[in-house]
Amino acid sequence: MTGTAGTSLGPVRDRNLTETLMRHLSPVLPAALALALTFALAATAPAQDASAPQAGGQLTPPPGVSTSGTTPAANAEGQPQVRTLTPEQYMAELLLQIEQGDNNAMITLGIIYERGQFGIDINFGKSLEWFTKAAEANVPEGHFNTAYAYQVGEGTAPDFKKALDGYLKAAELKVPQAYHRLAEIYLLGKIGVTADPKAAVSYYEQASKAGIIQAELTLADLYLNGRNGVAQDTDKGIQLLNSLSERNVPQAINYLGAIYYLGQWNQPKDVAKSKENFQKAADLGFGLAMKNLAAYYKNTGDNDKPNQTLALQWAILSVNFGQNNQEMGAFIQELRGSMKAEEIQAAEAAAQKWANDKVREVTEAQAAAQKAAADAAAQKAEADKKK
C-alpha cells in the first residue's frame, strides 16, 4: 500500500514485534478509554519484558488487606470487609512471614524496594539484598532478579558473570522469563556471551512452551527472515504465526495480514484475507493493524473502491494506539485535505463510537469479572463455614 504526496503507508509487520498501547490519546477519544482499555487489552499485549524483575510473591497486599482501606475480603457471610494496614504495618507483616518460613515474601519485599511501592522509597541496595536472600533460599525468582540486578547494575556494580550464572540457575528452576532472557543473550551475544543461534532457538522454544508470547513471536520472525544466524524455515514461521493467531495474539494476526497482502513466503497474495486479519487485530486494539487498515481503505478498499471516511476513522484510532508519529500525521493531513467536511465529521464520529463501544465492552467485562470473584469468595466462605 503506497500513498501519494510523499506519504508511504505499507503493511507493517512490526519487526520488533512489540507495541506500546495507549501511549498517546487525542481529544477525539474519551479520557476514560486509556484506563479502561489497559485492562481489556492486557491479555493481547506483548508479554512482560523478560529482563524485568519477576515476582514470586504478591506485589499487592493479600486479599483482605489494604494499605489505604479499600481492598475488600469476604467475611463469614460472604460480605466485603477490609483490614487496613499502614505501609509500615504491611512491611512488618511481610517480615513476619519471612520469619515463619515464607521465602516468597523476600521477593515481594525486593520488588517493593525496587519499584518504590506502598509509600516505600526506591532502594536498589535493599531490593538486591532481599533478592539475594531469596536466591540463597533457592527461590527461582530470586536467582532471576539478582541476575537482572547484576546485569544492569542495580544496587551493585555490573557483573556479567554473576548475571549469566543467575539466569542459568533460574532457567534450571524453570522460570519462563529466564528462558526468554537467555534466548536474547545467546541470539545477540550480550553480557560477554558469544552469539549462539542454536542455543538461542532452544531457549526461545522453551520460553514459548512456558507461555511467553513474545518469545514465540520472535521465533516466528527469526524463521521467516532467517536472520541472526538462524536458518530460514518459512513453514515453521507461518505455522507459529497461525498458532498465535488462533489464540488471538494481535501482533501475529497483523503480521499475517501483511504477508497475505504482499504474497510473501510462499503464501498466495490475498488482499481480502489481508484486510480480514488487519480488521481482527485492530478490533483487538492493536495500533499497527489500525494503521494498516487505514492504508488499506485509502489505497485499495473493498471491491477496489477506496473509502476515505473509513481510512480517516482508522487513522485517527491508530494515533490513539501508539502510532502518533510524523508519518501518520502527514497521512491524516493528506486525507483531511481531500475530504468534504461532512466526510471528516462522519469519520470522527465513527472513531468516537468505536471508542465508546469498546469502553462499554470493557466495563461489562470488568463487572462480570468482579461478580465472578465475589461469587467465588462467597462460595469459599460458605464452604469454610461448613468445615
Q: What is the pTM of this model?
A: 0.74
Distance CA 53, CA 115 (A): 10
- Asked whether the predicted pLDDT for residue 43 surpasses 90, the reply is no
pLDDT for the residue numbered 200: 97
In angstroms, rounded to a whole number, what is the distance separating the alpha carbons of residues 6 and 209? 44
Identify whether residues 35 and 67 lie together within a single domain: no
Check whether residue 241 and residue 283 sit in a common domain: no
% of the chain with per-residue pLDDT over 70: 79
Q: Hey, CA dihedral for 377, 381, 383, 387, is it positive or negative?
A: positive
pLDDT in tens, 65-85: 333 433 333 444 444 455 577
Name which of 142-151, 301-310, 319-328, 377-386 the model is least confident about: 377-386
C-alpha cell at 30: 474519551
Arithmetic mean of pLDDT, 301-329? 92
Residues 96 and 4 in one domain: no
Give the three-state DSSP class for 299. helix
**pLDDT value at 179 more than 50:** yes
Residue 72 burial (C-beta neighbours within 10 Å; 0-12, 13-18, 19+): middle
Position 209 pLDDT exceeds 80: yes
* 147 against 66, higher pLDDT: 147
Q: How many CB atoms lie within 10 A of CB 56?
A: 21
Question: Which tops the pLDDT comparison, 202 or 78?
Answer: 202
* Confidence check: pLDDT of 36 > 70: no
Dist. CA 266–CA 244, nearest whole Å: 19
Number of domains in the chain: 3
At 380, the amino acid letter reads: K
Whether 10 and 59 share a structural domain: no
Of 264 and 8, which is predicted with more confidence? 264
User: Both 157 and 59 in a single domain?
Assistant: yes
Clarify whether residues 111 and 196 are in a common domain. no
Arithmetic mean of pLDDT over the chain: 80
Under 8 Å between Cβ of 262 and 11: yes
Positive or negative CA dihedral for 65, 69, 70, 75? positive
> Looking at the domain assignment, is residue 213 inside a domain?
yes
Mean pLDDT of all residues in 28-55: 35
Binned at pLDDT 50, 70 and 90, residue 119 comes out as confident
Q: Which amino acid, 45?
A: A
Is residue 19 scored above 60 in pLDDT? no
β-bridge mates for residue 65, sequence order? 83
Whether residues 183 and 205 fall in one domain: yes
Calpha distance 211→89 (Å, rounded): 36
Verify that 304 and 346 share a domain, yes or no.
yes
Average pLDDT score over residue span 20-38: 26
For 153-177, the pLDDT digits (tens) are 999 999 999 999 999 999 999 999 9
